[in-house]
Amino acid sequence: MNPLLDFSGLPRFDVIQPEHVAPAIAQLLAENRALLERLAAPESPATWAGFVAPLTDGGERLGRAWGIVSHLHAVNDIPPWREAYNALLPEVTRYYSELGQNLALFAKFKALRASPEYATLNAAQQRIIDNDIRDFRLSGAELSEADKPRFQAIQEELAALGAKFSENLLDATNAYGEYIEDDALLAGIPADVRQAAQEAAANEGKPGWKFTLHAPSYGPVMQYADDRALRARMYRAYATRASELAQPEFDNSPLIVKLLQLRAEEARMLGYANYAEVSLVPKMAESPQKVAEFLREMAAKARPFAERDVAELREFAREQLDFPQLESWDLAWASEKLKQARYAFSDEEVKQYLPEPQVLAGLFRVIETLFGVQLQVDSAPAWHPDVRFFRITKAGALVGQFYLDLYARDEKSGGAWMDDAIGRRKVAVSIHAPEGIYAPEGIYAPEGIYAPEGIYAPEGKQTPVAYLNCNFSRPLGNKPACFTHDEVITLFHECGHGLHHLLTQVDELSVSGINGVEWDAVELPSQFMENFCWEWQVLSGMTRHVDSGEALPRTLYDKMLAAKNFQGGIATLRQVEFALFDLLLYGEYDPSGKRSVLELLAEVRREVAVIVPPEWQRFPQSFSHIFAGGYAAGYYSYKWAEVLSADAYAAFEESGNALDAATGDKFLREILAVGGSRPALESFRAFRGREPRIDALLRHSGIYALYAPEGTEGMVAPA
């Protein structure tokens, strides 16, 4: 039996192989197309039970199987999995495009929306119907029959280009290695980073040290290496990845142009002026103009602080480091020197107090205290020996489970992300399975699998499962891995996404967990969780020096807190730069015109940036968020949701206890539990009892005093 067709429990990663992909996905596509044909027939009732429920069930089977394939393509991108994924990607994309353009199904949803039954459905079910009607329109259902094939072809090509963009970036990252045999060139680089580099070289049978462009190697070199030439080489390699200036075979430049052209054509076909307008339809933001105003307002508020940050750094470099001019490859290094001089500590010093076991224990304590759940080690087949598995329970009952894949690998996509493996939903137990539906031993369908023509037992619950992925340094020797404080923040961030998925109490799959949540609100729980990494009552309990076993000294914590907003102005403008570039790229830029993408980026930098990299930097070629990660015309979401998350966290500050269980329970009930079953702004209002304000974000960013003096009401966040 094909393990990709086994939906009776967790994915069977111990036996799933690339050769299972084609037959499993082909079978599911055939089954789903037959289901769609039956549901689209005139005699099929436009009711929840007779139409929406079976459509959801069939879609879940395909979604779960293809989700496993997509996940393995991301975390184990070896040639067999890449080939298996790319071979079926066009077929899967074509199916979803056909589904989105099916006028008969669209008509059924509209008929259900207009029927008396709609008023009898619960709020989650009504929201699903409303979302589906919106999504059918965005999928081209109202296009003429003559235009639909072209729209479908666009979707297939966009999917292929996005996958190729990610693959080029990973291949370009892996293609570069900096080999060093003279240990004098390693001055300043932390011992654990040097050890990892030595092991990397030894694994290739080479002497000395090998540094790479993966974050655990590249980041510390740029931050600590005293050898300027080494930093310059590494910076140039990183800044030109996947471009015409590095390995031409991995150049993403032509893919970017084609992606932009196709997005623009898609928008025109749907009747919109540009793709940014299309992107914002299912989001909170009202229009691209409103988003641009928000970003430029943030830039104006941050600019004085960013200019001060840059002036201080340049003065320090001249007077203390004898650097009359700082280059891009000097910035992280000089900034670290300035931070050490000003605050008398380094990130590397803090890292020694954050070994993995203590960090995870501290994270779990926060979750357990706030939300009244218990986290325990669990077991399940995984895709790599490093992967661990956990369960979440409440009052002894299973709430959810998650895989934790923390370490960087050559075959794993960079960055950090959460994805769902299984969603929470209400299910029926099928007693008789129809022909063609997988049933163990040929008799009974597995629990939770919907059988369109079967007989059903009482309803049950399907518990959610999530993937949490990071790219941290692995353990070396007999010591546990140690994380920088920034990495701990990243871990808390991804766990926030995971909690949004795992702690949902919505039983309708399409709006449970993160499903159906507006894209520019989905970062609220993740950015909310980051705040706990700065609380003494949290941090003090999750630290232990990797050698001495001592807890983090309060004096060191006080220095960290004092440096919390170190160069915060620069960081804010950097995020605004990325977001505004993305918005204008999809909103105002003409991909068929004479102006290049790099020229647009230069214009954005002239408007908002205080630090401008070399003209040969090729940032867009590695900006996978907006070209391959679903953030097209949506990167602003990080700042937009940060207004919500900072204001939400302020409720805990106001309680006088960062781990106040009552406030945590309310956050669980009004934000996490409801998922996408209601608009995000309604959920925020239910939690805070009012509209969101920007005060907390300004205060947390260190610029509150100038723009929101004590006693003012502050500014209402974009809505």
The pLDDT assigned to 704 comes to: 56
Predicted confidence (pLDDT) per residue in 249-277, tens digit: 999 999 999 999 999 999 999 999 999 99
User: Quick one: which H or E segment has residue 640?
Assistant: helix 637-655
Whether the predicted pLDDT of 717 surpasses 60: no
As a whole number of angstroms, the distance between CA 126 and CA 142 comes to: 22
The pLDDT assigned to 710 comes to: 35
Contact criterion met (CB below 8 Å) for 510 and 128: yes
As a whole number of angstroms, the distance between CA 198 and CA 15 comes to: 34
The pLDDT assigned to 43 comes to: 95
Stated pTM of the model: 0.91
As a whole number of angstroms, the distance between CA 165 and CA 162 comes to: 5
As a whole number of angstroms, the distance between CA 719 and CA 716 comes to: 8
Contact criterion met (CB below 8 Å) for 234 and 179: no
Of 404-413, 512-521, 697-706, the range with the lowest mean pLDDT is 697-706
Contact criterion met (CB below 8 Å) for 437 and 445: yes
Give the CA distances from residue 129 to residues 40, 42, 46, 93, 106, in Å, rounded to whole numbers and listed in that order: 16, 19, 11, 22, 10
Query: HSE on the CB side for 387, CA within 13 Å?
Result: 21
Predicted confidence (pLDDT) per residue in 510-527, tens digit: 999 999 999 999 999 999
Whether the predicted pLDDT of 329 surpasses 80: yes
As a whole number of angstroms, the distance between CA 336 and CA 347 comes to: 8
User: Quick one: which H or E segment has residue 638?
Assistant: helix 637-655
Whether the predicted pLDDT of 708 surpasses 50: no
The pLDDT assigned to 700 comes to: 85
What HEC string does 215-276 produce? Answer: HHHHHHHHHHCCCHHHHHHHHHHHHCCCCCCCCHHHCCHHHHHHHHHHHHHHHHHCCCCCHH
Predicted confidence (pLDDT) per residue in 584-634, tens digit: 999 999 999 999 999 999 999 999 999 999 999 999 999 999 999 999 999
Predicted confidence (pLDDT) per residue in 221-232, tens digit: 999 999 999 999
Query: HSE on the CB side for 621, CA within 13 Å?
Result: 28
Indicate if 348 belongs to the active site: no
| Distance of alpha carbon 251 from the chain centroid | 24
Can you read off the two tokens belonging to residue 522? 């989905």
Whether the predicted pLDDT of 102 surpasses 50: yes
Percent of the chain scored above 70 by pLDDT?
93
Phi (first) and psi of residue 655, to 5 degrees: -75, -15
As a whole number of angstroms, the distance between CA 632 and CA 89 comes to: 20
- In this prediction, residues 485-490 reach a mean pLDDT of 98
- In this prediction, residues 655-662 reach a mean pLDDT of 97
As a whole number of angstroms, the distance between CA 418 and CA 466 comes to: 7
Count of CB atoms situated within 10 Å of the CB of 691: 12
As a whole number of angstroms, the distance between CA 585 and CA 626 comes to: 10
As a whole number of angstroms, the distance between CA 133 and CA 108 comes to: 10
Predicted confidence (pLDDT) per residue in 184-204, tens digit: 999 999 999 999 999 999 999
Among 494, 518, 577, 670, the active-site one is 494
Percent of the chain scored above 90 by pLDDT?
91
- In this prediction, residues 87-112 reach a mean pLDDT of 97
Please identify which residue in the block is written with the tokens 């509150």: 704
The pLDDT assigned to 459 comes to: 59
Domains belonging to the chain, first-starting first, are 3-142 (1.20.1050), 176-239 (no CATH), 253-345+565-628 (1.10.1370.10), 356-562 (1.10.1370.40)
- 533 closest CA partner among 655, 652, 658: 658
Contact criterion met (CB below 8 Å) for 504 and 424: yes
As a whole number of angstroms, the distance between CA 277 and CA 259 comes to: 16
E-state strands within 367-496:
374-378, 388-394, 397-407, 417-422, 425-430, 456-462, 465-472
Whether the predicted pLDDT of 439 surpasses 80: no
The pLDDT assigned to 450 comes to: 39
The pLDDT assigned to 667 comes to: 98
- In this prediction, residues 647-669 reach a mean pLDDT of 97
The pLDDT assigned to 714 comes to: 31
For the chain, the average pLDDT equals 93
The pLDDT assigned to 435 comes to: 39
Region class of 525: left (phi > 0), else alpha (psi between -120 and 50), else beta: alpha
Predicted confidence (pLDDT) per residue in 499-508, tens digit: 999 999 999 9
- In this prediction, residues 155-164 reach a mean pLDDT of 97
The pLDDT assigned to 106 comes to: 98
